[in-house]
């Protein structure tokens, strides 16, 4: 009997039943509560000219948000940011308690977890200093050639940055200048290694190194053929 009933259903009714089932499934999915994780960048604004940022415990906030799929789709992720105004900050460590939620969220979306709940920002007085540029040489020129001269232009540069880091420097080193198998003079731009701290070079003009290579003149006494002795 069951087979007879099923076979007696018209194809249109079966299609309609299938569409209704799909619709109900889609509605149930849209109403189900789900969770997402958002990374919200921290933007620092208004750092006083006389100060330098030296430490920050987090570049972004990580929040877990919950809600229906429809509500979560309304989050404009590319426009989310947490703005911190430091214009009234002084030299020292600033601790900021992050409100929850840290940003405006669409209706129906809630935050379930926030990390970190505090931002720690350290500012330090800015300083500047003129230091020597020291070339870091590696290798030897090609056989039959030698290094005639090497000049760094400029020989000194102005550095700026956190006072505790800048004032202890007397020189700054270039990236390795490889001379291996060099047989002709060159003029290169080189980077400076500043230690990875809160220091930068003030001038935009690049540092150059002028390498002069010359051929080695043969030594007549060393290279002269040895005369054979006769009996």
DSSP readout, 140-170?
A: -PPTTEEEEEEEEESSEEEEEEEHHHHTT-S
Q: Which pLDDT value is given to residue 60?
A: 96
Alpha helix segments (H runs only) across the chain: 2-8, 11-31, 69-72, 163-166, 220-223
Averaged confidence pLDDT in the chain: 86
Residue pLDDT, tens place only, 91-135: 789 999 999 899 999 999 999 899 999 999 999 999 999 999 999
- Mean per-residue pLDDT for 145-153? 96
Q: Longest C-alpha distance within the chain, in Å?
A: 130
Q: Which pLDDT value is given to residue 96?
A: 93
Whether residue 113 is found in the same domain as residue 156: no
Residue pLDDT, tens place only, 158-191: 999 999 999 999 999 999 999 999 999 999 999 9
Q: Which pLDDT value is given to residue 80?
A: 93
Whether residue 40 is found in the same domain as residue 111: yes
Residue 22 lies in a domain: no
Where residue 196 falls among pLDDT bands split at 50, 70, 90? confident
Q: Which pLDDT value is given to residue 14?
A: 65
Q: Are 67 and 110 in contact (CB under 8 A)?
A: yes
Q: Would the pLDDT of 228 be above 80?
A: no
Instruction: Give the domain CATH number at 82.
Output: 2.170.120.30
Q: Which pLDDT value is given to residue 13?
A: 65
Least confident among 56-60, 102-106, 145-149, 226-230? 226-230
Q: Which two tokens stand for residue 93?
A: 């460590």
Whether residue 135 is found in the same domain as residue 197: yes
23 compared with 217, residue with greater pLDDT: 217
Where residue 65 falls among pLDDT bands split at 50, 70, 90? very high
Domain range for 54: 33-125
Whether residue 107 is found in the same domain as residue 134: no
Residue 2 lies in a domain: no
Residue 4 lies in a domain: no
Domain count, the chain: 2
Whether residue 182 is found in the same domain as residue 119: no
Residue 105 lies in a domain: yes
- For residues 160 and 177, what is the distance between their CA atoms, to the nearest angstrom? 25
Residue pLDDT, tens place only, 70-89: 888 899 989 999 999 999 88
Residue 75 lies in a domain: yes
Whether residue 136 is found in the same domain as residue 207: yes
Whether residue 79 is found in the same domain as residue 38: yes
Q: Which pLDDT value is given to residue 92?
A: 84
């Amino acid at each position: 009997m069951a087979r007879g009933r099923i076979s007696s259903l018209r194809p249109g009714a079966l299609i309609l039943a299938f569409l209704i089932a799909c619709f109900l499934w889609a509605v149930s999915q849209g109403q189900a509560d789900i969770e997402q994780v958002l990374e919200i960048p921290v933007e620092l604004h208004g750092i006083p000219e006389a100060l330098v940022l030296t430490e920050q415990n987090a570049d972004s906030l990580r929040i877990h948000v919950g809600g229906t799929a429809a509500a979560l789709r309304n989050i404009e992720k590319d426009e989310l940011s947490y703005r911190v105004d430091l214009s009234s900050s002084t030299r020292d460590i600033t601790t900021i308690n992050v409100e929850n939620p840290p940003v405006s969220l669409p209706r129906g979306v809630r935050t379930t977890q926030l990390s970190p709940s505090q931002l720690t920002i350290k500012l330090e007085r800015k300083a500047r200093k003129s230091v020597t540029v020291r070339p870091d040489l590696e290798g030897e020129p090609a056989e039959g050639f030698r290094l005639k001269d090497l000049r760094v232009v400029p020989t000194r540069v102005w550095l700026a940055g956190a006072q505790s880091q800048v004032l202890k420097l007397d020189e700054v080193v270039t990236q390795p200048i490889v001379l291996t198998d060099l047989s002709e003079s060159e003029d290169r731009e080189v980077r400076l290694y500043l230690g990875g701290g809160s220091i930068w070079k003030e001038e935009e003009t690049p540092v150059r190194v002028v390498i002069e290579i010359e051929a080695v003149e043969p030594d007549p006494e060393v290279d002269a053929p040895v005369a054979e002795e006769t009996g």
